[in-house]
């Protein structure tokens, strides 16, 4: 088949490689323009390396972007990790339209941080959806879905890189084949089950140690590696990069005031929260490098009894 790929980042590059490696023709790649003082986008690099024609438009609504896609004369458009808005005027150009990847089980968790939020909320399953893009955000009919579990200690990184990333690449080629063979069954999303979640960024990633241990731990793991759940010490942010939860089994196991560093061990530190303690193995001050909990305590002269986030 003859396709165009619209996307960015490592996922976009992996999708490009998957289609080329199996013998499809990628007539062109659309990705966001380069930004000053930042590394080139992996999809752009991949297109250059493999000799694929590259387009970088600030907006896919531009007449130039529409004409560029028309000129490629493709059977299908493949949208792989797209943060730019693609209007229906653009997505309707390929002969068989476009398909798009979204890392949630639509219609739940529409929006840009759809991997973070299921973990933060304590869900035990998530997945991916390949759907037909429309002018509504993540609202088009579904072509296929794949599910995966969220384990009790999974993080954003483990769910995405270990499962949703490779599963998504395979699902894109599978969905493309279904569309091109005429076997795709498009299911309209059930709006009664729909939810939209915005970005998970710094304001959402702030730790409230007064929350229950499960809520605190879910927030931490749902923000690893980004944006990084954070607390403060001496007015500076500390991002927690690796942690475990230790629920209190009895009243006597409850230690210290809420938010207090109760113990500094050889490899980790322990912070009191409602219902137990969070064991912090590694963290990073916003103005420094990654450290173990004890290394940070030694550098910052942080002693047991110190309240974090005060």
Q: Tokens standing for 246?
A: 């230790």
pTM greater than the 0.85 cutoff: yes
pLDDT for the residue numbered 251: 60
310 pLDDT band, cuts 50/70/90, is: confident
pLDDT for the residue numbered 304: 96
Last residue of a domain, one of 158, 193, 228: 193
In this structure, are residues 228 and 284 in contact, taking their beta carbons and an 8 Å threshold? Answer: yes
Cα pseudo-dihedral 228, 309, 209, 265, rounded to 10 = 80
Indicate if 213 and 94 belong to the same structural domain. Answer: no
Domain CATH code at residue 289: 3.10.25.10
In this structure, are residues 41 and 7 in contact, taking their beta carbons and an 8 Å threshold? Answer: no
Structural domain that includes position 43: 2-193
Last residue of a domain, one of 193, 211, 226: 193
pLDDT for the residue numbered 252: 59
Indicate if 189 and 213 belong to the same structural domain. Answer: no
What kind and span of H or E run contains 127?
strand 125-131
The CA distance from 60 to 75, in Å, is 19
Q: Tokens standing for 184?
A: 């795709």
Indicate if 209 and 77 belong to the same structural domain. Answer: no
Rounded mean pLDDT, 246-267: 86
In this structure, are residues 99 and 79 in contact, taking their beta carbons and an 8 Å threshold? Answer: yes
Rounded mean pLDDT, 268-285: 96
Indicate if 211 and 178 belong to the same structural domain. Answer: no
pLDDT digit string, tens, across residues 80-105? 999 899 999 999 999 999 999 999 99
Residue 310 lies in a domain: no
Indicate if 263 and 171 belong to the same structural domain. Answer: no
pLDDT for the residue numbered 249: 81
The CA distance from 292 to 89, in Å, is 52
Q: What are phi and psi of 296, to 5 degrees?
A: -65, -45
CA angle centred on 154, ends 290 and 209, rounded to 5°: 65
Task: Count the neighbouring beta carbons within 10 Å of the beta carbon of residue 301.
Answer: 8
In this structure, are residues 101 and 128 in contact, taking their beta carbons and an 8 Å threshold? Answer: yes
β-strands 2-7, 76-80 pairing: parallel
The CA distance from 242 to 27, in Å, is 43
Q: Tokens standing for 214?
A: 């499960």
Indicate if 20 and 147 belong to the same structural domain. Answer: yes
Domain CATH code at residue 51: 3.40.50.170
Last residue of a domain, one of 193, 224, 256: 193
pLDDT for the residue numbered 219: 98
The CA distance from 43 to 169, in Å, is 14
Indicate if 179 and 233 belong to the same structural domain. Answer: no
Indicate if 67 and 138 belong to the same structural domain. Answer: yes
Indicate if 213 and 179 belong to the same structural domain. Answer: no
**By C-alpha distance, which of 285, 292, 288 is closest to 308?**
285
Beta bridge partners of 260: 307
pLDDT digit string, tens, across residues 109-147? 999 999 999 999 999 999 999 999 999 999 999 999 999
**By C-alpha distance, which of 81, 157, 171, 169 is closest to 115?**
157
Beta bridge partners of 187: 142
Residue 306 lies in a domain: no
pLDDT for the residue numbered 114: 97
Residue 304 makes CB contacts below 8 A (sequence gap 6+) with: 260, 261, 262, 263, 264
If you count DSSP H runs as helices and E runs as strands, how many of each does the chain have, helices first? Answer: 9, 13
**By C-alpha distance, which of 43, 38, 14 is closest to 28?**
43
How many domains does the chain fold into?
Answer: 2
């Amino acid at each position: 088949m003859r396709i165009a790929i619209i996307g960015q980042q490592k996922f976009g590059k992996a999708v490009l490689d998957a289609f080329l490696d199996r013998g499809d023709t990628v007539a062109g790649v659309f990705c966001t323009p380069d930004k000053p003082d930042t590394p080139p986008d992996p999809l752009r690099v991949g297109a250059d390396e493999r000799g694929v024609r590259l387009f970088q438009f600030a907006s896919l609504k531009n007449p130039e972007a529409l004409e560029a896609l028309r000129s490629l004369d493709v059977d299908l458009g493949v949208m792989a990790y797209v943060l730019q808005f693609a209007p229906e005027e653009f997505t309707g150009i390929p002969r068989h339209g476009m398909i798009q990847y979204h890392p949630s089980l639509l219609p739940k968790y529409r929006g840009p941080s759809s991997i973070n939020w299921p973990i933060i909320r304590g869900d035990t399953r998530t997945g991916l959806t390949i759907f037909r893009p429309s002018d509504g955000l993540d609202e088009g009919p579904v072509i296929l879905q794949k599910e995966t579990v969220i384990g009790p200690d999974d993080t954003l990184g483990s769910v995405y890189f270990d499962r949703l990333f490779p599963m998504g690449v395979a699902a894109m080629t599978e969905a493309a084949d279904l569309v091109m063979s005429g076997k795709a069954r498009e299911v309209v999303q059930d709006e009664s089950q729909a939810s939209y979640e915005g970005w998970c960024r710094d304001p959402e990633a702030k730790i409230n140690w007064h929350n229950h241990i499960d809520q605190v731990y879910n927030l931490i793991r749902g923000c690893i590696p980004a944006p990084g759940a954070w607390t403060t010490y001496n007015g500076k942010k500390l991002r927690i990069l690796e942690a475990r939860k230790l629920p209190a089994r009895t009243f006597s196991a409850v230690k210290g005031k809420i938010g207090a560093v109760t113990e500094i061990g050889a490899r980790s530190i322990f912070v009191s929260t409602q219902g137990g303690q969070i064991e912090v193995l590694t963290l990073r001050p916003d103005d420094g490098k990654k450290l173990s909990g004890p290394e940070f305590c030694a550098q910052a002269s942080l002693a047991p009894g110190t309240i974090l986030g005060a």
